Homo-oligomer: A and B are copies of this chain.
Amino acid sequence: MNLKSQVEWALHCCAILAGLPEGRHLAAKDLAELHGLPKEYLSKAMQSLSQAGLVATTLGPQGGYRLAQAAEKITFLDIVEAVEGRRNTFACQEIRKNNPCRPAKQRETKPCAIARVMWEADEAWRDRLRRVSLAELVETVGREVPKAVLERTAEWIAARS
């Protein structure tokens, strides 16, 4: 039960894009270099973000990615679900139907008791992720990462966007 590593990549990339000057774009090539990731595969994750409407893209030279919404509007959950999908972690296989003591014709009206509990836990997980915005992440990073690194990274990005 692991999230794909693309989830981490997408979160890092969104945090970077949130700090991008207005009207600028950053290419997948640069995002990959900045995080030490395989460019082609990272761009699959970016495509997921694009399809989810979280980032906007521009083609051609000086093109690339930017946020499509305000960082305050984008939540962790948005990003996680964009790349990971919206399935529950628990999949009820309805093995209760295999009980030989049950009449075959019996049809279930509601989800089983086990699945309901598991899905509540999944919902609690989502709830927590929904409560943290990309803007909050950026603020925390701004507080915790050394100023020198932040500045040099900002320059690095400015030189390529």
Interface size class of A (residues with CB under 8 A): 35 or more
> Secondary structure of the A side of the interface?
helix
Q: Does A120 count as interface, using CB distance less than 8 angstroms?
A: yes
Q: What residues of B have a CB within 8 angstroms of the CB of A7 in the complex?
A: 90
Q: What residues of B have a CB within 8 angstroms of the CB of A95 in the complex?
A: 8-9, 12, 35-37
Q: How far is the CA of A114 from the CA of B141 in the complex (A)?
A: 9
Contact between B12 and A114 (Cβ–Cβ < 8 Å)?
yes
Q: Give the residues from 1 to 17 in chain A that come closer than 8 angstroms, CB to CB, to chain B.
A: 1-5, 7-9, 11-12, 15
Q: Mark A111-124, 1 if CB is under 8 A from B, else 0.
A: 00110011011101
Shortest CB distance A81–B (Å): 10
Contact between B101 and A149 (Cβ–Cβ < 8 Å)?
yes
Partner of A149, one of B102, B144, B146: B102
Contact between A99 and B140 (Cβ–Cβ < 8 Å)?
no
Contact between B34 and A93 (Cβ–Cβ < 8 Å)?
no
Q: What residues of B have a CB within 8 angstroms of the CB of A9 in the complex?
A: 95
Q: Does A87 count as interface, using CB distance less than 8 angstroms?
A: yes
Q: Does A132 count as interface, using CB distance less than 8 angstroms?
A: yes
Chain B residue at smallest Cβ distance from A150: B101
Chain A residues with a Cβ under 8 A of chain B: 1-5, 7-9, 11-12, 15, 33-37, 76, 84-85, 87, 89-93, 95-96, 98-103, 106, 113-114, 117-118, 120-122, 124-129, 132, 137, 140-141, 144, 146, 149, 152-153, 155-156
